[in-house]
Structure 1
């Protein structure tokens, strides 16, 4: 499994982790949401859960649950600032389509589950 953090996302992750010393790393996955079906979830990982796959990049651990894994494998996470707005940006090779607002996506059914 491969999840990559672009330099801006890596720096943002390090700042998050520095402000929460009890965090193990980042938790990255998906949840059912939006008009296209799946939305990305990024949070601090405070525990390792059964079935988690863990990758590490430059000292930042990324925890991905078993359900999310096939839908996010190969994703590059970036971090962008647009005016006053800041957000993580996802380049997911498994996304077959995204909704117009960019909040949710669908995958090829064979890759999804």
Structure 2
């Protein structure tokens, strides 16, 4: 019997609201190819999300496309963001991306960081 490497299907999705917001922003940035979802060690819970407009792609990028919007994720971040849905919400006068990540096991009280097991 031989051991095989199992690679689960990994994906990142966006809600229609997020797609609409990203499209509007990309229309103002002719050099941008899409949006990057990344995580960074930070905060009291461990990680925080970062988004950036992508002008230069990397060899280690995985690209997910939702309604012709490209989402770039470095492969090293895939285990943390697998299954994440990116939403764009408005609360009062504030508008922001909101991340629904099935891998997040806890969030800090202010919602700025999260942890995974």
- Scaled by the length of structure 1, the TM-score of the pair is 0.92
Question: Is contact 2:43-2:112 (8 Å) kept?
Answer: yes
Question: Corresponding residue for 2:4?
Answer: none
1:17 equivalent to 2:26? Answer yes
Q: 1:50 Cα shift?
A: 2.0
Contact 2:13 / 2:64 at 8 angstroms: preserved in 1?
A: no
Query: Structure 1: which 5+ residue stretches go unaligned?
Result: 109-113
Structure 2 residues without counterparts, runs of 5 or longer: 1-9
1:31-50 maps to which residues of 2 (within 5 A)? 31-50=40-59
For each residue in 1:39-98, what CA deviation from the matched residue of structure 2 results, as whole angstroms up to 9, or x when unmatched? 001110111112110111111001001221110010001111111111111100010111
What is the aligned partner in structure 2 of residue 58 from structure 1? 67
Q: Once superposed, what is the RMSD of the aligned Cα atoms?
A: 0.8
Larger radius of gyration between Structure 1 and Structure 2: 2
Alignment TM-score, normalising by the size of structure 2: 0.89
Any conservation in 2 of the 1:29–1:69 contact (CA below 8 Å)? no
Moved over 6 A (4+): none
Cα deviation, 1:14-38, whole Å, max 9, x if unaligned, reads: 0111110100111001011111110
The whole-number CA distance in structure 2 between the counterparts of 1:104 and 1:81 is: 19
